[in-house]
Amino acid sequence: MKVREKFNAKLLVEGNDDQHVVWAICEKYNIPETFDVIDCEGISRILERLPLDLKQESIKAIGVVLDADQDLQKRWRNLSGILSSFGYAIPDQPSPEGFTHLPHDIYPTIGIWLMPDNLQSGMLEDFIRLLIRPNDLLSPFVEQALVQLETQPIDSRYSEIHRAKAYIHTWLAWQKDPGTPMGLAVTKTYLDHNTELCQLFVNWLNRLFNP
């Protein structure tokens, strides 16, 4: 979703779902509206936009939320290569608490969060799955359905890399309001925003944008 940019702090996210999940979490935690959440419409556009934003003197803080996808280290190298070229000192590994770096020279404060948890490969849907309550009654049936489907020789079935997407969207399709989007599932408390992972994400946002 396109937004009118009005703040000197930017959170760059991959897509519409990421944007709405962030907005919903911010609302749950009453995070002050001090930054724009920008749907960059894909990883490549984030990587293109980041160096341009780093050069903007008017921007004081930039956050990046990216899916680690199949290779967390590769994604980390993509970002650290860009930041290192601007003189930022980047560690070899991402932090479980999310990476933040104070302003460097004329450049802004920077932060990176790799979905789902800065530790493992995955994507937004893996993050969302970790917000499902442990005693959830639908989850075992979703897992059973996916396992049964995966035993069948169906060429049109999802690939393993997209299993988390298949899981979450099946789970959402079986809620009282079927097909509720992920962000709205946070708002409606289908998901538990009080998990340790969600709190870590909120703490990262506040360190970056509301120090």
**Alpha-carbon distance 107 to 116, whole Å?**
27
Q: pLDDT for 27-37, tens place per residue?
A: 999 999 999 99
CATH topology of domain 9-123+193-209: Rossmann fold (3.40.50)
Q: pLDDT for 66-107, tens place per residue?
A: 999 999 999 999 999 999 999 999 999 999 999 999 877 789
**Alpha-carbon distance 100 to 102, whole Å?**
7
Q: Where are any strands of DSSP class E within the chain? A: 9-13, 36-39, 61-67, 99-101, 109-115
Q: Kindly indicate the confidence band of residue 14, based on its pLDDT and cuts at 50, 70 and 90.
A: very high
Domain with CATH 3.40.50 in the chain: 9-123+193-209
Q: Kindly indicate the confidence band of residue 5, based on its pLDDT and cuts at 50, 70 and 90.
A: confident
